[in-house]
Amino acid sequence: MLYILTGKVQAGKSRWLEERVKTLGAEGIECYGVISAGIWIRSDSEYANSQGFEKLGIESILLPKMERFEFAKRKDLAKANGSFNQRSQAGKVGLGWHISDEAIARVNAHFAWIAKQIKADKIHGMLVVDELGRLELDHNAGLLEAMKLLEAGASDNFPNAIVVARRELTEKVVNRFASKWGGSQTISL
């Protein structure tokens, strides 16, 4: 089954998913993939949300080892510190986040490793992809190795997957991957 976690921007999807991954692990279900957690600070700036927090960036958490590294930075901050690259995959399509191609490559390498382990029958569990966005679904770029795993569909070792996607992209996820996983169920926050 393909579970699609969806909701508004900054609704807490990744926080919810991180808690579910811990719960599944405690129940003996190992999760493999990536969680894209926000990097937040307390703030009273124009970028602060209604709870007084400002999102500066996104870090990738590679599962199952929980390895963390910066994946994305808000575009205005990347421009201000000189790290923004207009020729990057994210820059070319005009995302509001600067994602370095090196960070994308690192996550893709992790998903390629997962694919090899599945093929060799060395791991069992649940596939986690946080998140599929415009870069992947509209431009066929970004987390391409995750897309390949989702295209491969369910197996005895990985009967379920959970994908995070914004509401406006949910239908694209369903149309592209649900049949390969024996159907889908949407989880809305």
The dotted CATH code for 2-35+59-71+99-188 is 3.40.50
Task: Calculate the CA 51 to chain-centre distance.
Answer: 24
In this model, does residue 33 exceed pLDDT 90? yes
Give residues with Cβ within 8 angstroms of 182, minimum separation 6: 1, 2, 154, 159
Percent of the chain topping pLDDT 90: 93
Write down the domain spans for the chain: 2-35+59-71+99-188
* 189 pLDDT tier (thresholds 50, 70, 90): confident
Q: How far apart are CA 103 and CA 27, in angstroms?
A: 31
In this model, does residue 169 exceed pLDDT 90? yes
Q: Are 97 and 88 in contact (CB under 8 A)?
A: no
In this model, does residue 94 exceed pLDDT 80? yes
pLDDT at 11: 80
Q: Are 106 and 99 in contact (CB under 8 A)?
A: no
What average pLDDT does this structure show over 172-184? 98
Tell me how far CA of residue 93 lies from CA of 19, 86, 88, 107, 151, in angstroms: 32, 9, 9, 19, 23
Supply 87's token pair: 């020729």
Would the CA dihedral through 154, 180, 15, 46 be positive or negative? Answer: positive
pTM metric for this prediction:
0.94
What average pLDDT does this structure show over 81-109? 95
What average pLDDT does this structure show over 29-34? 98
